Structures are given as C-alpha cells and as structure tokens.
Chain A
Amino acid sequence: MSRDRTLTALAAASAALLLLAAIAPQWLVFLLALALAKGLVVLGLVLLMRTGLVSFGQGLYFGLGAYAAALLGHRGGIADAALMIAAGTACAAAVAAILGLLLARYRDIFFAMLSLAFSMILYGVLVKSSALGSTDGFNLHAKGVAGVALAAGVERRVFFALSVIAMCGAAWLLHRYLSSHWGRLSEAIRDNELRVEYLGASVYRVVYVNYVAACALAGLGGAFAALAVGHVDPETAYWTTSGEFVFIAILGGTGNVLAPFLAAAIFEGLRTVASQYAPNVWQMTLGFAMLAIIMFLPGGLWTLVSGRRKAA
C-alpha cells in the first residue's frame, strides 16, 4: 500500500518540479537545483544509515563528483553536461569501489572517522594544488547536453530538469532496492550484524555494495551541484560539508526515499532566508534544530508526514 503511495508521490513531485523548471524564477530554480543535488547525496547517506553506518565523509565523493565534472569541461574541453554528470558519478564510484574494500570492515565511530579522514585527504590535496585553483577553485561552463547546444539563460533550467529526472530515477531505484532481499538485509545488519552472519549472508558484501552505491549518488549530486553553481572549490570536500549532509539526513529521517529531498529543500530554503536576515545565528539555529530532532523526533521530519497518513 504505502509503496504505491511513495511512488505516486514521487511521480507527482517530479512532475511538479519539471513544471517549475520551465516557469519558476531563476532564483527558485537555483535554490531547488542545489537542494536536489544535496538531496541525492543525502539519499545515499540514508542508504548507509539504514545499514547502520553514518559517514562523516560524503564530502569526499561530493567533491570528487564536482571536480571530475568541472575538470572535464575545464581541461578536457568537453562541455557537455550529460558527460560531466556521468564522469562525476563514475569517478566517485571508482574511488568508492577501492576505499570501500577497506571501509566496509569498519563500523560506528571508526567508520565515521575514517571516512572523514579520507575526505580531508582530498581536501588537503585540493587546497594545495595551485593547478586546480587552490582554495579559490575554478569556474565551469557547460554548453550543451548530450550533443544539443543550449542557449544562454535556459541552461540552468535544463540542468535542473536533468536533476529532477536523476532524483526520480535514483529514488525509484532505491525504493525498489530497500524492499528487495538486499535492502532488508541492510536493515538487519543495522539491528544485529552478527546474527545476519549466522543466517549465512555476507555482511561485508552488503555493506560494500551499499557504500559504493551511496558514494556514486554523492558523486552524482556533486556533479549536479557543480553544474548548478557553475563553480567548484575545495570546500565541497571539507568535513563541514559532510556534516551538512548528515544534518539533512537527520532532519528528514531515514524512513522514506523522498525524505532527503524534502529535507534538503527545507534546508536550502531556510539557509536562503537565514543568510538574508540572520547570517550570524545560522549555525546556531542548525545546532538547536538538530538537538530538537534528536530529542523529540528521532525519525526525522518524515515521521510527521507518515504519522498523519496513518491517522487518516
């Protein structure tokens, strides 16, 4: 029952967002594009959290995706958004496939801290490499999608529409995955991984696959963020960026594949308001909100949505 509802909601949300891509003012398109890009990263993080792992280093793959996409245009001279997105995702997935071999052995705080260390390694490299603009980063400019040239002005809208399609596809796939055999195993691992081993399943393999999938999503989100902003800098790989993703994941909760996108939209919206009216207390607001959610709403904002649905 609820599975159907999620898919209906996903389809409706995607249609509404596509409509917005065509008619909304530029600032709203920009805000939503950034929200969706971050939502994709958080979607991956939610997959990890359902496996019982919190990564404080998704910035690594967010940054990798962004830089890979940007470099393709900057150095490779290939300014095609579709290729950039593919490059960002592939690059993140490839690195995750290597680091995952190691990280899948760790749990809890060690997983969190080791993934953080890896993201800080990338940050350190990016900050010191003057060829990549050091702390300033560099601009990128995508001129077309899949061979079709875009007129100036509409490109942001097209990229946003692309990210809506990516969101729709990723959320749908993950929704299917979570209700599949391996998806159920993931949650069993969170509850008690030793028993999962006793039952004959390979915890390592499930964790590894989930990790790589989550990181590919982070790379995808990074590429979209780079396209939306038109600029990349090392801050994308910094640990506070990773912390932001964790915050959005907690805000939305892990109950549903739509929650990350909803939470990311709320987050970006609030940030836009806060940077205008109260830039000095933005982090403080985040901190208090996070505490409030951990204390009173451990399932995230999504429990408000699903709770009301159950009551109805």
Chain B
Amino acid sequence: MSNIVSVLFDGVVYSSWLFLMAAGLTLIYGVMKILNIAHGSLYALGAYVAATIAGAWLAAGHAAIGSYAMLAVAALLVGAVMGPLLERGLLRWMYGKDEVVLLLVTYAAFLVLEDAIKLVWGVESMLLPEPYALPGNFQIGTLAYPVYNLILIAVAVAVGLVLAAALYRTRQGKLLLAVIHDREMSAAMGINVDRVYLVTFTVGSMLAGLGGALTAPTIAVSPGIGVEVIVLSFAVVVVGGLGSLGGAALGALMVGIVRSAAVRYWPEAELFTIYFVMALVLIARPRGLFSAPEARKI
C-alpha cells in the first residue's frame, strides 16, 4: 500500500516539474508553431540565475524565506531578458520557413546558449540547498517527504490554472486563441500578431526559467542539465498533443507516474519506459492525445 502511495506521490511531484517545462513548450508551439529546443537552455539559465541570486541573497545574511522570492525573480528575469532577445533577435527573421527549419534554428540557439552558460558560470557545479531544506519534512505512513515537493506541486497547479484562466477567460487569451486558429485571418482582423508572438515567447521562456529556478535547490546546478530536460519535455508535449495545455498536463501525469513506477519496480528501464509511453501513444494517436485533426493543404 505504502509502495503505491509513494509511487503516486513521487510521480505527481515529477509530473509537476515536467508540466512546468511542458506548458511553456506547448504554448510556444501552439501559437508560433515552433518546437523550441532552446527551452532546455532557458531551464538551465533559470537554475543558474536562481542559484546565483538566491545564493547572494543568503550570503548577504537576509532572511532565508526571501530566497523563495529570489527563485521567482530568477524566473521572471530569464523570461524578460531571454524571451525578447530570442524572439526579436533571432526567431522573427525565420518566420515563414518550414517547421523543421525552425526546429533547427532553435537547436542552433540551444548550442550557443549551452556554451554561453559555461562561459558565464564556469564548469563547476553550484549548490543552493537552503530553500529545499528549510521547510522540513512531513510523513506519509512511514516515509518522510520534503515539504518542498508540496510547494512544487502547488506551483505547477497554480501555473496551470492561471494559464488556463488567462487563455479562456480573458480578452487577451481569446485573441491568442484566434491567432492559434488562423494567424493570417487574425492579422487581417487587426490583432497585432507580432506582439502576441513576443508575449507568448516571453511567457513560455518564463515558465522554462521557473522550472529551472524551482529545480535549482534540489540538484547540483552544473553544465548539461538542460539537455535531458528538453527531450523529456518533448516526450510530454508530444504525448499530450502539441499545442494543447490540457494535453501537457495529462502527458506530464502519465510520463511522471510511469517513470516513478519504473524507478521503483524496474529501475533499469527508467529512460526506456518514458519513451516507450511516447511511442505507444503516437502509434495509437499519431498527433498526440489532445489535438485537433488538421486539414491537408494541397
């Protein structure tokens, strides 16, 4: 019994983390039709910036509780700086090219950012254990869990709800949905598509940064952390259906729980199971679980 509970709980924690990454990725794809490989670098940047400024905050002797605010600031910073930089500086020159070419462009951006991170922060790993250790542990049955995991789940749920509300309940969100549906027609109706793109990409980058910032306290922040994240969040997004927020949530839950079950019962197959789930879903539903059929253009 406690086995199943712990598998589910670990799975949900992992899913929350996956969802934060996947939500940004799927949002950007849905609006801009760009599968952003550089998302992993933005995640890594979030982790580095968080480790740096929260570390500086704690080193300056301020209250430890403020380090959580620093994590959020790191995410905002990454989004606000890198989002416009990438979108205005690079991607807008590429609009109109094939989706696959755009994929390659973001791959190139990923390669550049990976080295840029190494140049700025060096190759030594950074640690930021305080925010993780601070809230202590709680018990489920006989097992102790860090409270930090609950924070992670809460943030993911909040992000999901806020995004859904912003998309479906606000005027700006409806404009965004219109752009997703038909970019050219929306532009003709007077929607400023350029601005929608910029805002979308910035918000997506912020989410990646948030994922990284929240992960920073739980890992050793070191070069290469962005690499595995990309492929994982791709798997999630593709399972859910590219461009679907609900799909990203469901995909994250599926992948997260399957992984935690694999880690528990069959650790050799951990990586294998994730991609196996992805391949299975794609075989059954070629465009993911939640995706509208698309008309073929002749």
Which residues in window 84-109 of A have CB below 8 A to B? Answer: 102, 105-106, 108-109
Considering the chains assembled together, what is the distance between the CA atoms of A118 and B270 in angstroms? 14
Q: Which residues of A contact B119 (CB under 8 A)?
A: 280-281, 284
Interface-central residue, B110, B114, B267, B275, by most chain A CB under 10 Å:
B275
Known: A118-B279, A120-B231. A109 touches B272 (CB 8 A): no
Considering the chains assembled together, what is the distance between the CA atoms of A108 and B286 in angstroms? 12
Known: A102-B283, A118-B275. A290 touches B111 (CB 8 A): yes
Considering the chains assembled together, what is the distance between the CA atoms of A13 and B107 in angstroms? 32
Q: Nearest chain-A residue to B239 (Cβ)?
A: A117
- Give the shortest distance, in Å, between A296 (CB) and chain B (any CB): 11
Question: Which single member of A109, A120, A287 contacts B100 (CB below 8 Å)?
Answer: A109
Q: Which residues of A contact B35 (CB under 8 A)?
A: 109, 113
Q: Which residues of B contact A192 (CB under 8 A)?
A: 298
Query: Is A294 an interface residue, CB under 8 A from the partner?
Result: yes
- When the two chains form their complex, are residues B276 and A121 in contact, meaning their CB atoms are under 8 A apart? yes
Query: Is A129 an interface residue, CB under 8 A from the partner?
Result: yes
- When the two chains form their complex, are residues A290 and B115 in contact, meaning their CB atoms are under 8 A apart? no
Q: Nearest chain-A residue to B278 (Cβ)?
A: A117
Known: A116-B234, A129-B268, A195-B298. A291 touches B105 (CB 8 A): yes
The stretch of A68-76, A137-145, A167-175, A239-247 in contact with B is A239-247
- When the two chains form their complex, are residues B100 and A124 in contact, meaning their CB atoms are under 8 A apart? no
Q: Nearest chain-B residue to A198 (Cβ)?
A: B298
- When the two chains form their complex, are residues B93 and A295 in contact, meaning their CB atoms are under 8 A apart? yes
- When the two chains form their complex, are residues A108 and B99 in contact, meaning their CB atoms are under 8 A apart? yes
Which residues in window 197-230 of B have CB below 8 A to A? Answer: 227
Interface string of B89-120 (1 = CB under 8 A from A): 01001100111110111011111111110110
Question: Which single member of B110, B274, B279 contacts A287 (CB below 8 Å)?
Answer: B110
Q: Nearest chain-B residue to A282 (Cβ)?
A: B115
Query: Is A188 an interface residue, CB under 8 A from the partner?
Result: no
A interface residues with partner B (beta carbon < 8 Å):
54, 56, 102, 105-106, 108-110, 112-114, 116-118, 120-121, 123-125, 127-129, 192, 194-195, 239-240, 243, 246, 250, 280-284, 286-288, 290-291, 294-295
